[in-house]
Amino acid sequence: MDYTECAFPGIPHLSIPDGKQIILISPDKLITLDETIEYLFSPNGETLVMQSSGCQIQLLNLITGNSSKKIYPPNGHWFDFSADGKVFWLGPDKDGYIALFNPGNATLLQKTRVEWRHLAELTKADAEWIISNLTGTQQQDFKDNLVNHQFMDILALSPDIKTFISSIHMDPESVNSFWSDSLKAYHPVGPKGILRIVLWRMNDGVMQHILVEKDEWKGEPSVAYSPDSKQAAIYSSGDQKIGLFDLATGKLMDELENTGYQSLAYSLDGQILIAGTNENLELWDLATGNLLVEIPIPAKLEDWAISPDGRYIGTVSEDGTISLWGVQP
C-alpha cells in the first residue's frame, strides 16, 4: 500500500509517492466537489481521487491541476487503484457491476457483473428463530428482509487485476434501523449479523473460493494481496488474528496472533506483512510467522503509507506528528 486509505475531513492524508517526499494534504485546503468526504492517492502520488457527499467521484492530476469528468456511481462508495496505478475501479452497483476506469481520463475500460445473491443466506440461529416463531407469509417476509439487507463491498483488487476479494455482510445495527416497529417486535434481540469473505475472478465475476465465513458481524475486515497475487492476508474484526490464505486453493496457510483493528500491506518483496493498529505498526516475517519489530506510535495512528521502493514507512498521528521510519532489507 503506497498510498493513503480513504479517510474523513479533519484527518490528515499521507502519501509517499517517490520514497523521497512526503505529501500531507489538509481537507480545508483542497479543491473540493460539493462536499468532499473521502480522498485516495494513486500509487505514484500523481492523482488524487475525491468523493463528495453526493457520491460523485472526480480524479485530480496533482502535477497538471487538471480534473477528470465526474463519475456518478449508482450505488456504494468503494473505490481504489490497481497496484501499478494504471486502473481505477469502483463498485459494486445495485446490480452487482464492478467498473474499471483509466485514471488519466476516467474512461470506462471494463464492467464485470458479480452474481452474489445466492451467498446472502440466513444464519442458522436466525433460520431456527423464524421456524419457531413465525408462520406462513410472515416467515417469507422476514427472510426476504434479512437477505435484502445484506451487502457486498469490494475489499481489494489483485495486483495482476485477475481477481478481487469482497465481503458479503449484514450489519445488525443497519438492519434494525430499517425495520418497522412490528418487525422489531417479531425479533426483539435482532440478528448477530453475518460475514463472508469471497474470492472472485475479475474477467467474468465467477466465485473462486469462500475464504472466511462467520455467523457474526463485528465490523469491516481488512485485506491485502501479496505482490504476486498468489496470497492474501485477511483480518476480520473480532478474530484477534490475521489469516494468511493460498488463493489458488482458498485454504488458510497460517495465522498471526494480534488484537485491534488492522490495516494491512505486504512489503515489496512479499516477505514482510505490515499491520497497523491504533497504537502501533507491526512488521511480521511471513517465512517464520514471527513478529520482527513493533513500532510504537506516540498518539493514535491516523494514517500510514509505504514508499514504492519499500524502504520507508510514513505515519501520521492524531496529534499531528509525522514520522518517517526506515525499513531495513
CA–chain centroid gap for 283, Å, is 20
Is residue 235 situated within a structural domain? no
Strand pairing report for 47-52 and 57-61: antiparallel
Q: Is 81 left (phi over 0), alpha (psi -120 to 50) or beta?
A: beta
Residues of the chain with pLDDT under 70: 1-37, 53-55, 72-77, 174-191, 238, 258-262, 328-329
Is residue 287 situated within a structural domain? no
Query: If you count them, how many residues does the chain have?
Result: 329
Is residue 208 situated within a structural domain? no
Is residue 26 situated within a structural domain? yes
In the DSSP assignment, the letter for residue 16 is -
CB contact set of 284 (below 8 Å; sequence gap of 6+): 242, 256, 272, 273, 274, 275, 290, 291, 292
Containing structural domain, residue 101: 1-113
Is residue 19 situated within a structural domain? yes
Question: In this predicted structure, what is the pLDDT of residue 104?
Answer: 81
Is the pTM here over 0.85, yes or no?
A: no
Question: In this predicted structure, what is the pLDDT of residue 83?
Answer: 79
Is residue 50 situated within a structural domain? yes
Question: In this predicted structure, what is the pLDDT of residue 158?
Answer: 94
CB contact set of 7 (below 8 Å; sequence gap of 6+): 13, 38, 39, 302, 303
CATH number at residue 83: 2.130.10.10
| C-alpha to C-alpha distance for 284 and 282, rounded to whole angstroms | 6
Q: Which three cell numbers mark 147?
A: 437477505
Angle at alpha carbon of residue 64, lines to 62 and 67, rounded to 5°: 70
Give the DSSP per-residue string, 127-185. HHHHHHH--THHHHHHHHHHHHT-EEEEEEE-TTSSEEEEEEEE-HHHHHHHS-HHHHH
What would the pLDDT profile of 73-103 be if each residue is shown by its tens digit?
655 557 888 877 888 888 887 778 888 988 8
Cβ burial of 145 (10 Å; 0-12, 13-18, 19+) is middle
Per the listing, cell 416463531 goes with 133
Question: In this predicted structure, what is the pLDDT of residue 261?
Answer: 62
Question: In this predicted structure, what is the pLDDT of residue 3?
Answer: 28
Angle at alpha carbon of residue 115, lines to 109 and 116, rounded to 5°: 120
Rounded to the nearest 5 percent, the helix, strand and coil shares of the chain are 10, 40, 45
Is residue 48 situated within a structural domain? yes
Question: In this predicted structure, what is the pLDDT of residue 260?
Answer: 65
Strands of the 47-52 sheet, one edge to the other: 36-41, 47-52, 57-61
Angle at alpha carbon of residue 221, lines to 317 and 117, rounded to 5°: 145
Is residue 256 situated within a structural domain? no
* Beta bridge partners of residue 246, listed in sequence order: 231, 251
Q: What's the total number of domains in the chain?
A: 1
Please check whether residue 225 is in contact with residue 158, taking contact to mean a CB–CB distance below 8 angstroms. Answer: yes
Please check whether residue 299 is in contact with residue 316, taking contact to mean a CB–CB distance below 8 angstroms. Answer: no
